[in-house]
């Protein structure tokens, strides 16, 4: 249950990260996500240098890749210097249709969304 709640919170955070200020591709780095806002969103964008520093110190951060519409295509959460979890998103005509992820316990999940 904990991993499902975690996965859903991250999903909403990343889907809400859609941005017109970023070109497609990545990675873009974020320190955290706002969990008390609706919709959830990534906060505290950081540089690659800052992400590498956090990684060296064992702190968490998120590496995010965007598609041509500015939607999150995938993310990797780094914690204690390694990938802690990751998720890949699929869209059809700009709408999220699937999320495939691996949680901190190594459990793979697939979520489908109504079109």
How many helices (H) and strands (E) are present in the chain, helices listed first?
Answer: 2, 7
**Interval 16-65: pLDDT, tens:** 444 447 888 899 999 987 754 323 467 899 999 999 999 999 999 999 99
Looking at the DSSP bridge assignments, the partners of residue 59 are none
State residue 40's pLDDT score: 47
User: Is the predicted pLDDT of residue 100 greater than 60, yes or no?
Assistant: yes
Q: What is the pLDDT of residue 49?
A: 97
Q: Is the pTM of this model over 0.85?
A: no
What are φ and ψ of residue 38, in 5° steps?
Answer: -130, 120
Residues 6 or more apart in contact with residue 23 via CB below 8 angstroms: 66
Domain spans of the chain? 2-86
């Amino acid at each position: 249950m904990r991993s499902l709640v975690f996965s859903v919170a991250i999903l909403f955070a990343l889907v809400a990260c859609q941005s017109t200020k970023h070109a497609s591709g990545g990675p873009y780095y974020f320190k955290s996500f706002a969990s008390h806002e609706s919709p959830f969103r990534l906060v505290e964008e950081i540089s690659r240098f800052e992400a590498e520093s956090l990684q060296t110190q064992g702190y968490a951060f998120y590496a995010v890749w965007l598609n041509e519409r500015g939607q999150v295509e995938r993310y990797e959460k780094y914690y204690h210097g390694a990938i802690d979890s990751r998720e890949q998103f699929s869209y059809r005509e700009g709408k999220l249709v699937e999320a495939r992820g691996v949680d901190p316990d190594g459990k793979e999940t697939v979520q489908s969304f109504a079109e």
